[in-house]
Amino acid sequence: MSSSHAHSHGHKDAAHHGIPVITIDGPTASGKGTVAARVAQRLGFHYLDSGVLYRLVAMKLVQEGEDGANEDAAVRAAQTLEPEFLPDGRIMLSGEDVSAAIRADGIGLQASRLAVHPAVREALNVLQHRARKAPGLVADGRDMASVVFPQARLKIFLTAAAEVRACRRAKQLGLPCEGLEYQRIVADIQARDLADSRRTSAPLRQEPDAKLLDTSDLSIDETVKKVLDWYRES
Ligand code: DC
């Protein structure tokens, strides 16, 4: 499970911070999920995709036929959320495999809307803290460094120009990085950036002690290497 590197620093971490945490925060489609999962794999650490929890609350509201704009329903859904993360990577909610459904853009938008409520965030923070397990954790989201794991050993703010992120998303959908569809993706990404960074409760922003990593001109491999280098230096 744990790499030799994790062992070599285990004592220091136990003395100073407990189980080491690397936080990777950033805007939508910045590639933080892919990067965080690979860094976790390389170090033998656990991986927390906190956005999944917000998406699961949105999914639960859909399952219950509730309106996502209903704050009370969103808070109740967050407080009673019992997702199952299967070893094969599938995510189950109320016995239903929702792994693919939670990735839909509509669910992401709903998640962004219900994420403004402090009581929703508090309920999900409890689940997020439980993910901090030996030998270490890589956590990605918006407020991993600022709110959930302020004592993290390494904090990364991962970003890229909106046009670059839109182009990556377009390619995933088999679309060209020009034209009307592409322009719509750019606009969606800019709107979500604005919503996530303007909210008053735990907004998306770079913490003073976080390292900025702009991946506009970096490959995934180069980005992962940079994070691992920083971790070794930390
Ligand atoms: O990372 P993502 O696209 O899966 O996240 C979906 C939404 O959930 C995002 O737009 C805002 C919210 N979110 C949040 O508020 N805090 C987090 N730590 C992660 C996600």
pLDDT in tens, 120-178: 999 999 999 999 999 999 999 999 999 999 999 999 999 999 999 999 999 989 999 99
Q: With residue 43 as reference, give the H or E element that holds it.
A: helix 32-43
Q: Give the separation between CA 53 and CA 45, rounded to whole angstroms.
A: 19
> How high does pLDDT run on average in the chain?
91
pLDDT for res 105: 83
Q: Give the separation between CA 112 and CA 101, rounded to whole angstroms.
A: 16
pLDDT for res 201: 92
Mutate to test the pocket of ligand 1, among 24, 34, 48, 50 (most ligand atoms within 8 A of CB): 50
Q: Is 111 in the pocket of ligand 1 (CB under 6 A)?
A: yes
Tell me the pLDDT band of 17, cut-offs 50, 70 and 90.
Answer: low
Please give the average per-residue pLDDT across 193-218, as a whole number: 94
Going by alpha carbons, the residue nearest to atom 13 of ligand 1 is: 51
Percent of the chain with pLDDT over 90: 85
Coil vs helix vs strand at 182: helix
Using one digit for the tens of pLDDT, what is the confidence trace for 88-116?
Answer: 989 999 999 999 999 998 898 899 999 99
Q: Is 121 in the pocket of ligand 1 (CB under 6 A)?
A: no
At residue 1, does pLDDT exceed 70? no
pLDDT for res 139: 98
Q: Give the separation between CA 57 and CA 43, rounded to whole angstroms.
A: 30
Question: Which residue's structure tokens are 């070893």?
Answer: 87
Look up residue 146 and give its two tokens.
Answer: 């600022």
pLDDT for res 3: 40
Q: Which atom of ligand 1 is nearest to the CA of 29?
A: 3
At residue 86, does pLDDT exceed 80? yes
Going by alpha carbons, the residue nearest to atom 11 of ligand 1 is: 112
pLDDT for res 218: 95
Tell me, in angstroms, the distance from the centre of ligand 1 to residue 201's CA. 13
Tell me the sheet residues that pair with 159.
214
Q: Is 108 in the pocket of ligand 1 (CB under 6 A)?
A: yes
What radius of gyration do the chain's Cα atoms show?
A: 18
pLDDT for res 109: 87
Contact call for residues 174 and 83 (beta carbons, < 8 A): no
Q: With residue 127 as reference, give the H or E element that holds it.
A: helix 118-129
At residue 11, does pLDDT exceed 90? no
Q: Give the separation between CA 209 and CA 224, rounded to whole angstroms.
A: 19
Query: pTM (2 decimals)?
Result: 0.88
